[in-house]
Structure 1
Amino acid sequence: MISTSTTLAPPLSPPSSDSDSDSSSHRHHHSDLSSTIFKSYLELSGDHHNQKHDLIKIQAFLTSSRSGALSCLICLERIRPSDPTWSCSSRCFAVFHLHCIQSWGVQSSNLAAVRAITRAATPNDSSLLWHCPKCRIEYSKSQIPKTYYCFCGKLPDPPHDPWVLPHSCGEICGRPLMYNCGHNCLLLCHPGPCPSCPKLVKSKCFCGAVEDVKRCGFKNFSCNGVCKKMLDCNTHRCNEICHEDDCPPCKAKGMFKCQCGKVEMKRECFDRVFRCENPCEKLLGCGRHKCEKGCHEGDCGDCPLQGKRTCPCGKKVYEGIACDVVVSVCGATCGKMLSCGFHRCPERCHRGPCIETCRVVITKSCRCGSYKKQVPCHQDMTCERKCQKLRDCGKHACKRRCCDGDCPPCSEMCDRKLRCRNHKCPAPCHRSDIVLSVFLSSNSPSLNGR
């Protein structure tokens, strides 16, 4: 394997100077250095659009960090080089003030807890989620950041150095590269995503016909020849251009028989196994009865009436009876479980299904438990008592007849005046927002000193 690596270091920020001309020349010098390095790195990527897009994104992050143009999307203030920060490393890589994202995460988690309580659910850490303010990807409450780390996550509380990129440790990034190639990022600690792996490796095309030296991040390639892989039918080969993923289903057409062999029709090769609408009707092993299954492949099996047989209720066993002889009833009580799941069939041993309706008289309680009565087992029991329990709004009673305690949400209109004092709330009746504000104030931890 050829393993050529390229290390790209983010351009350093020059120290502050009292001379505007010196500072300007430094910025011009480092801007030229940045452009030269990225130009050489882009040449390595060839015509790969994704890698060029990643590099341009990294260059934009570096330029913004070096010039101090980064802004927090929560407070909309400029992020200074000495400010503790947090970046979304899952998708958008946006940078925020650490105390801003902590406050954002705590308030979002508390709101999720309030919503869970109003739904009578028990909140837990997995359900208390907060989202990145930019890309909206989900984080759990336990993932609210508590410590200021550098971009690569190795150094807590990175010191501010005018010669090192702000919020960076200045060491090799070392994060795993995209596409799980097994190599790590060779850039110095940097904001934004890591680029695709630039190492050279030997790789085969998708169909395996051509071997070539490719960049590791883009080692999977098409030779633009015919695939010629054997398809699932094990008869025909793929005629598509060398491609990624599995080959498409075989579309070759031919005459194929159904599973029982009665019907023959023209079908596509991938759909050659099918069942017709005719019953099988092949003779079973006994030679007297026919198979009652639908169209199927393979042996029909032995006659189910051969060997030991029982009466319809299953209490008496008969041996040595021919499969074409009807077994008589035993005369005992059936005793099979009825559909209610509590009582058994009281009739004599009989052929066919048991009675569907259980008529055993039992004492039942209504749903709310305030009334009892003797009724047949299959009959539901309700009373006329109206539930007086308050609904979730805390104002109106349920009023549902024979309520089992699970009262539905209030269907009345809120109709309270909004804070503008000019309009009324059009939402369904709900608890006052005072409850919500009290809950948040009692559950929000202090963020001072973070």
Structure 2
Amino acid sequence: MPTMQQSIPDPNQERVQLSQALSNVSSDSEASDSDSESDADPSPISDSESDYDEPSEAISSTIIQEIDDGTYICLVCTCEIDRQSEIWSCQECYRVYDLDCIKDWAVRGSSTTGNREWRCPACNFEHSTLPNKFTCWCGRVKNPKPDSLVPFSCGNPCDAKYPNCVHSCSSVCHPGEHPQCGALGPVLKCHCGKHSQQLPCLATPYEHGWTCDSPCDVIVCPLGHTCSKGDCHSGFCGPCGQTVDASCYCGAHTISTKCSALVPKTCVNNDTSFLGATACDDIIVQYFDCKIHFEELRCQPLTKDHPHCQFSPDVVKSCYCGKSPAQSLDRTSCTDPMPECDRQCGKLLDCGCECLAKCHEGPCECFNILETKCSCGYCTFLTTCKAVQQGFVPKCHRKCTAMLNCRRHWHREKCCEFEQVALKRERETKKLARNRVRSNFDDQVFTMEPSHICTKTCNLMKSCGLHRCEALCHSGNCGVCLEASNEDLICNCGKTVVPAPVRCGTKLNCQECCVRPKECGHEQELHKCHDDEKSCPNCTTQVAKVCNCGSKVIPNVLCSVENVSCGKICKVKKECGHPCNRPCSKDCTDGKHASPESCQFVCRKIKNNCPHMCTAKCHSSSNKACDAKKCTESVTVNCMCGRISRNVPCGASLTEESKIGQLIGCDDSCALAKREEELRLAFNMGVKPPTSSYSADVIKVYRRQTTWCSKYESEIRDFLSNYQDYINAGIKPKKSLHLPPMTSPQRKFIHELAQAYKLYSESQDKEPLRSVFLCITEASVTPPLTLKQTVDMEDEIEKKKVFLENLQQSQIDQSYFNAILIRDVFFGVSKDDVESNVKKILESYPEIENPSIHWIKDSTFAFSCDNFKDMDKEKEDKLYILSKSFKNVLREKYIAFDCKMCMVDDGVTLVLKTDSKNVSKSLETTEPDVWQKNKYSVLEETAS
């Protein structure tokens, strides 16, 4: 069942309406007697005047009737409420609920909010307390009896205080809203207090009171003027508003002014007294008692007695600044000159500065210099304090950087005082944008400073595309075009018409079919009628067309297709040297090939200042040199000794030379390596440097392909020779040489040959066009011998070597033995052990002179002496006998296993030959006994 929810009517509005209707009605007898003589008769209240809401008791009656019938529905449990139920009523909408249901509703609702509030199911009003008591409608009696006249009523007067009057509800405890107050209000006097009246409570004006028709005749000034407001009013009457004529203080003028502004004072003029009440704008002169000096004053009351002269000796006690006494001047009258000292005045001025002038007469002026910010606040200037006090603000030449409100133009005014305000607003706008908060620039215009409002005409094309915006320059889109045409708008087929006037931008929406004929003559495809800006669909009829280059006829091509290509690529070279590379073009057939300006190939030209190719996009049309940009190709640079090498960018450009051929400095490790190599050579421990400038691989290839190698060797030698000739002649030489494409073994030969000439070499391009280019470096040198001379020299040396080896071997075979070779020295035996045992053996041979033991190699020593330097057959026999003694003794003492004669060189460092004939048969046929072997010999036999 729907519930009726009504609010209490506003009593204030009703009172105003009733007071207006009853404003001419008097309630008391005295008022009626006085009003009977007036012309204003009371008039009846019309319907319009008494149009206020009547207090409605429908809610209360409906609730009581439905509860008595047992048909009132609880909105929470949807069950009926009768006299036996326990209820709770919402004081906002007066809806009645079962107490247990609404209590459960409130507990569950308050548990979901932080402030522990719950909402009424009917009016959604928020309550802060839980319903936990069953009371009567007025709430004064708990658990009311069900047999009362009104359900759940205590039977007592409601006595609820009305919010806007002095009365209480007199109805019996009831549900719903309170009935309207029907009592009479108190007796109220009018604003002036002359009359009084009593109205119904609803019509009584408690807050604003009421006004009678009598005028306010209160005297408001000493002149007897009455209140200027006239009618009865509330509050004070205010100052007198009458205008009167009064004499000024100096007596020269009579001025009309308000009575409340008069200030009467006794004045004197030419020894005549009079009453002045106001001041004029004249300046009056008042003489001092000396009758000589005077002062100028604004119009004011003067006295009969003249003031004492300010320049009198008894008044002036010091100079003007007050720092020096005036006693030294001996002034006797006021006409004597005033004293002045030589000190700075130093008086404190109104601006807060001190007077910088010398002690002086009259008012001080400030001449101090201050640092003052300009209008925009970016610059500081030195200005006088006097100018600052007068409102002067310096201006700088800095232009404002703020954007105008249109967001299209900049302010650019010099020294803008509102620049910081605009920049702050711009920062706030950007901050909002970062936080994804939209800002309306149109709203900012109302609070924006006038100097940042753009006054130019927008002049942008509107959405119609025909007219331009004539409004002030603004942000955002321009408004809708308001232009109109006086001609009818007719579609192409003529079946759809928009009568004039036609607003600009109006589009026709014709639903008929387009009837435009095609240029090709084929049948038109079905489509809607459209304006001239939109073209008809392309023709889809298939025809045979000749391709662009004219070499083929392509079948089944759409009629609307004009560019028909067979896919043939044009290979004609352009002016830049690259192929045209356009597919099937009519221009190529006519001889108009692609322009070099649109060439997309890589330049690939050899640069002038380095041997590398230009890797930039083809630039022949711009006349830009390939060397304009630094070369970034990687090159290898070495130190002077060739030990250190680094990969660096070539770096060649129009202003810089290539790093090819440059040498980097050797470091300490190079010097150390050179020193170690010299020591190795000094002690015959190192590898001797090669006698030839060419590597073995170069010589080997030259022997196999003499003609081909000689060709490129001659070309390289001529290249170096011409370079040196150009240097001697003072001509800039060519430092690089590009060789033709070669195979990989051939390129390897060129690289190794370049090392002999100390040239920089590098392979370029891809197979099969890969080639080698050479570049002269600071260390480049021409080998003294050619490859042919080197090969011939090696062949000659080889022949001599073989001859000498054969000759030397025959001489050695014919020579005598001159030393004893001690072999197979046992493990752990040192050279000292060998020498000590040999000395014992030589004690039996006193004729031996200067014997010595020399180390030859591991486990091998050689014995020599001066006796066996010049050998013959007899000395060789003695040497043989001595070797037998060495062998027997050294073997017995486990010093060495074998001793035999040998031939050594003069330095006893090389064994030239050994005695292989006179070897004992026991050594050749029998093995030594086990006791004669050392333990390591046994291990060797076991391992074998």
- Structure with higher helix content: 2
The reply to whether TM is greater than 0.5 is no
Q: Normalization by structure 1: what TM-score?
A: 0.38
| Greater C-alpha radius of gyration | 2
What is the TM-score of this pair, normalised by structure 2? 0.21
